[in-house]
Amino acid sequence: MLKAARITAATAVVLAVTLILAFAAMAADDQIPSCGGFGGGSSGGTSGEAPAGGEGGGMMGIMFPLAIFVLIFYFFIIRPQKKRQRQQDDLMSSISRGDQIVTIGGFFGTVQEVRDDSFMIEIAKDVRVKILKTAVSTKRGQTQTQSSAHIEDK
């Protein structure tokens, strides 16, 4: 739930910055209506003439804030999500038999068997459960099953 709140806050910041940049670009390109044609004090040409080279500036005024929006969206939302997914994939591929793991539900267990999409873990003596690979939160370390069994026998 906290992650969703962070993404929502980041999205709100991105949208606010984009709107500010869009209005700034419009003001710089004189796209905001003004009263320059009234009052007889105009300096140059008739009021019906368009400014020279003004058509290209309108496209840049639209594309610049859009490009900024895409960059901010990429660096604050898409790139961190890809990094987290890559870390999760590395974690899943590194888990093998005998590793201690913690599930997203908070269960501690030792991996007994690795399957295509699931693990068989032992959460207590002679209590085995099957969990999906996506349910693994962290890997705690490897256990020495043979050496610990040898110590318990003594």
Let me know whether 126 and 73 are in one domain.
no
For residues 80 and 78, give the distance between their C-alpha atoms in angstroms, rounded to a whole number: 6
The helix (run of H) or strand (run of E) holding residue 128 is strand 127-132
Residues 87 and 111 reside in one and the same domain: no
Number of domains in the chain: 2
**pTM of the entire predicted model:** 0.50
The pLDDT value recorded for residue 28 is 65
Residue ranges in the chain assigned as alpha helix (H): 2-28, 54-73, 79-94, 145-153
Give the range of the structural domain holding residue 87, as residue numbers without chain letter: 2-32+55-93
- DSSP SS3 for 117: coil
Which of 63, 93, 123 is a domain's end point?
93
Q: Is the pLDDT of residue 138 over 70?
A: yes
Q: 118 vs 39, 96, 102, CA distance in Å?
A: 78, 12, 14
- Does a structural domain hold residue 27? yes
What confidence score (pLDDT) does residue 60 get? 77
* pLDDT range class, residue 12, cuts 50, 70, 90: confident
CATH of the domain at 109: 2.30.30
What's the rounded Cα separation, in Å, for the pair 68 and 37? Answer: 34
Does the pLDDT at position 15 exceed 90? no
Q: How does the average pLDDT of the chain come out, rounded?
A: 75
Distances (CA, A) of 141 to 14, 93, 96: 40, 14, 10
What tens digit of pLDDT does each residue of 45-98 get?
444 554 555 555 677 778 888 888 889 889 988 999 999 999 999 999 899 999
Laid out side by side, the sheet with 108-114 consists of: 127-132, 118-124, 108-114, 99-103, 136-142
What is the reported pLDDT for 59?
A: 76
Q: Are residues 131 and 102 in the same domain?
A: yes
Q: What pLDDT sits at residue 3?
A: 55
Which of 33-37, 63-67, 85-89, 146-150 reaches the highest mean pLDDT? 85-89
Does residue 121 sit in the same domain as residue 110?
yes
Q: Confirm whether 130 is domain-assigned.
A: yes
Question: Has residue 1 got a pLDDT over 50?
Answer: no
